[in-house]
Structure 1
Amino acid sequence: MLTAMKILFIARRFPPSVGGMQRFAFDLAQSLEAKEDMRRITWGGSNKWLPIVIPVLFFRALWRLTIDPSYTLLHIQDVLLSPVGWLLHVLSGKPFIVVAHGLDVTYENGLYQKVIPWFLRRASAIISISQATADEVVKRGIKPERSHVIPLGIIDEFENVPRDRKRVAAKLGMPELKDKKILLTVGRLMKRKGVAWFIYEVLLELTQQDPSILYLVVGEGSERKAIEAAIMKQGMQEYARLLGEIDDEARNLLYKNADIFVMPNIKVPGDMEGFGRVAHEAAVAGTTVVASSLEGIADALADGKNGILLPTGDKKAYITKLAGLLGTPKKLEKFGTQARTYTLKNFGWGSIAKRYLEIFRHLPGQK
């Protein structure tokens, strides 16, 4: 019989703050709590407070370990907190594991790259969300036998979301959506997302072939001005719209009612796509995903099963594939249904949590 574990879960990015890392931490915590005894010590506010928050997280965790020494392991939810995990390990003797996302490993800062890998090398295990992230972890001197890959899980939020263009149009105040072929991108607006590249290199020619195409971009970020400039320079005001941040209902309606979800990521040194959670969200919504075969995206999508992967930066490949798919709506619908089934079967949180617990049980002191 397996001995029950008691897990102390420490995270600096957690709801109510918004983002992919926050959502991942919340879903993982819930899934682990459903199977084992676990307590959370988290921060759900702004990153600007991190110089204060990180010591507070440490002392809260140390107090918890002091008043209840029955905890069997420390779960550190991202690489930046690995010094916290190591120090708690030294003081308590508990093994600690670290979850690696991508940028938290590759962040281009000389001091960071000298200090953080030292702590990572002392973790009992590092669990990366993609093979691309795991490769970066091993490059920093972590023994391969301590490096593991477990993808993000997914929850089905779309079973009761309707395919109803009129409802989407009304929700967004965009009556023209009813008659458009919608390409959709969702995510933080960063250079690596490739939105500006897509507008410059792909969208102009696509809309010349089919003027009914409309490209919708959901999210905010540092690249917004560059994307706005691309729209203006290419004269794409009629064919591309930046919607900014929208509420969950509107976002899910767009996922469900878009014709194709596009992830045209490009290579940016020092800034990698850890996994590509939005690709799974679109797939579970039953929408065909067309994406760059790059970094963590290649772990999220199995080409031809829950997405279509193209060479990154290949303008011709994107134009040819998107134009062909938009011209065959029945094929899009069939592939979307297949992608939804595949993604739910292979990336459900129940099976993902089991994989985490299997690694936990092989750590020192666990059974």
Structure 2
Amino acid sequence: MKILSIGSDATAVRTDSALAERLRAYATHVERYDVLVPALTRVHADLAKNSAVYSGAGSTKLLQLYRMYKEAQRLMRMRRYDVVTVQDPYYLGVLAYLVARRFHAGLEVQVHGWERLCGARRLCARFVLRHAHAVRVVSMRIKRQLLGEFSVAEGKITVIPIYTEVRNKEKKERRREHDIPFVFLTVGRLVPVKRIDLQIEAMVEVVKKYPHTELWIAGEGRERRKLEARSKNQGVSDGVKFLGWVNDLEKVYKQADTLVLSSDYEGWGLVVIEAAAQGLPIMMTDVGCAGEVIVNEQSGLVISVGNVRALANAMLRLREDVALRETLAQGARNAIAKLPTRGETLMLYQQSWEMAYRETQGGSKRK
């Protein structure tokens, strides 16, 4: 089987990147696996004997989209892919639909989450999902939304959690020294949907009772200045540390005591899996993998979205209860141990591609 993957992550062109490594793994299960991404300049990088990355180059997003369409047509004529898979159901999804339809290929649409699902983007998503031959999602939460809101046939949907290669470690409680603060850690882009402002507000209550507590924020984004100003205005700037982008997250996980995720929305919540594998107890809003991996009071604390009082209370519980932290950390480790292995994940991908192919080829299969 030959696959053309259309996505937006240009790090695929860096042959030493984590994404490139994943793409090479995908290519081991098919005859050909090529990737098309937007870029400022035209690129072509070989990832393996049967896998390469191409780009649609342009100085604007619209020009990149047009050139991706032209490049996709060129590649289809040259390679005659069996399936086109696309990493979001919006404008790239429309592009993938047009290419798959023109060349009579199967169309697999991936839904990792919803980014600004309104207006034209919602219309694109509804159109693309209606015409998809197979739909791959990362959580049961998204599957339920596709069934209810988008009326996607259940038989088309495959749920495949995002695979993360992590070493499941038991984190021992750090010895509480008078000069070592208790650390709440949050990791992610500093954008409004992450609601890190709520964590800063909750810290006001936490430090009243436990002054020797810090919130570490690992990530960058357009909200950083606002968040720094908020922490200063709330009087907690001494305890709120902005770490910026962190290359070695494992080191930060080892220094932290609890992971906090307060997003209004997540498709899955990859950082939760990573932190749980490092032995951290988890507290998160009811988004993404909450309810599937992180179950309230069993493998973490799950609170309602946007509820700063519930957030502060959960932070206080974890701050003062060592036994609770240990119980939830162990529960989270047990939960992630049940997620599909790398081999199982790749087999599920292949099954989804084969479904998309069969829909256009009358039930036959190709390797």
TM-score bin, normalised by smaller chain: 0.7 to 0.9
| Residue in structure 2 matching 1:143, options 125, 142, 153 | 153
**Shift of residue 218, structure 1, vs aligned partner:** 1.0
Which shifted more, 224-233 or 284-293? 224-233
Which shifted more, 227-236 or 349-358? 349-358
**Shift of residue 136, structure 1, vs aligned partner:** 4.2
Find the counterpart in structure 1 of residue 338 from structure 2: 345
Q: Distance in 2 between matches of 1:130 and 1:26?
A: 23
**Shift of residue 331, structure 1, vs aligned partner:** 4.5
Find the counterpart in structure 1 of residue 142 from structure 2: 133
Are 1:31 and 1:349, in contact at CA under 8 Å, matched by a contact in 2?
Answer: no
Tell me the matched-pair count: 338
What one-letter code is carried by the residue in structure 2 that aligns with 1:77? Answer: Q
Q: What's the C-alpha RMSD, in Å, of the aligned pairs?
A: 3.3
Q: Distance in 2 between matches of 1:253 and 1:341?
A: 22
Q: Distance in 1 between matches of 2:38 and 2:24?
A: 15
Find the counterpart in structure 2 of residue 83 from structure 1: 94
Q: Distance in 2 between matches of 1:17 and 1:220?
A: 23
Matched, 1:29 2:39: no
Are 2:39 and 2:64, in contact at CA under 8 Å, matched by a contact in 1?
Answer: no
Q: Distance in 2 between matches of 1:256 and 1:26?
A: 27
SS of residue in 2 equivalent to 1:41: strand
The 5 Å alignment of 1:200-279 reads 200=201, 202-247=202-247, 249=248, 251-266=249-264, 272-279=265-272
Name structure 2 gaps, 5 residues minimum.
41-57
Find the counterpart in structure 2 of residue 169 from structure 1: none
Identical counterparts, % of pairs? 21
Find the counterpart in structure 2 of residue 294 from structure 1: 287
**Shift of residue 236, structure 1, vs aligned partner:** 0.4
What is the TM-score normalised by the length of structure 1? 0.80
Q: More helix by proportion, 1 or 2? A: 1
Name structure 1 gaps, 5 residues minimum.
166-175, 267-271
Are 2:181 and 2:212, in contact at CA under 8 Å, matched by a contact in 1?
Answer: yes
Are 1:73 and 1:95, in contact at CA under 8 Å, matched by a contact in 2?
Answer: yes
Change (3 A) 1:277 1:49: farther
Find the counterpart in structure 1 of residue 44 from structure 2: none
What one-letter code is carried by the residue in structure 1 that aligns with 2:89? Answer: V
What CA deviation, in whole Å up to 9, does each residue of 1:298-325 have, x standing for no partner?
4453335543212233444333333232
Are 2:228 and 2:237, in contact at CA under 8 Å, matched by a contact in 1?
Answer: no
Q: Distance in 1 between matches of 2:96 and 2:110?
A: 11
Which shifted more, 252-261 or 123-132? 123-132
SS of residue in 1 equivalent to 2:68: helix
Q: Distance in 1 between matches of 2:13 and 2:316?
A: 38
| Residue in structure 2 matching 1:283, options 268, 276, 283 | 276
**Shift of residue 295, structure 1, vs aligned partner:** 4.8
Q: Distance in 2 between matches of 1:324 and 1:226?
A: 28
Are 1:152 and 1:347, in contact at CA under 8 Å, matched by a contact in 2?
Answer: no
What is the TM-score normalised by the length of structure 2? 0.80
Change (3 A) 1:298 1:30: farther
Q: Distance in 2 between matches of 1:126 and 1:62?
A: 22
